[in-house]
Amino acid sequence: MIDKIEVVEMGLEHLDDVMIIESLSFKIPWSRSSFIEELVDNKLAFYFAAVSGGRVIGYGGVWKIFDEGHITNIAVHPEFRRCGAASAIMERILYMCNENEIKSLTLEVRKSNIAAQKLYEKYGFKAEGIRKRYYSDNNEDALIMWRHNN
């Protein structure tokens, strides 16, 4: 059983756990220096860590570009998937977007990642386009999903 999940602003102190999750979750993981740049230098970036039992079990990020947001990543440690962590992260991202008057939110997701697509659809995202051969590891297409706030 998982302890309560708390979603907090991600900081450098979370990076050791984040890097483990990143490498377990993505075929082309971000580097530690990429995360440091996002957290320290990118004033458009907002990152959140899902913490349970004193450890990071997931994380997510979004860029705020004028009145639009772009979800950069959401990942959950494989041991903690299907426990509500991704939903908790998504709800925190949506709350931040509402607080910052973001009217539309977008993301790319692998065409084969049905579980992620279902999560995004649960929160009102709809597939509105395709980026052909977006993922360089296998040339897989990405679905471009959007959520519009009226």
> What are the pLDDT digits (tens) for 81-140?
999 999 999 999 999 999 999 999 999 999 999 999 999 999 999 999 999 988 888 888
Domains of the chain: 6-148 (3.40.630.30)
3-state helix, strand, coil in the chain (%, to 5): 35, 40, 30
E strand or H helix at 118: helix 114-122
How far apart, in whole angstroms, are the C-alpha atoms of residue 113 and residue 120?
Answer: 11
Catalytic residue among 68, 101, 120, 134: 120
CA distance linking residue 144 with residue 136, whole number of Å: 16
The percent of residues in the chain predicted with pLDDT above 90, rounded, is 89
Among 84, 81, 147, 85, which Cα is nearest to 113's?
A: 81
Average pLDDT, the chain: 94
Is 95 among the residues known to form the active site? no
Query: What predicted TM-score, i.e. pTM, was given to this entire model?
Result: 0.92
Catalytic residue among 47, 99, 108, 128: 108
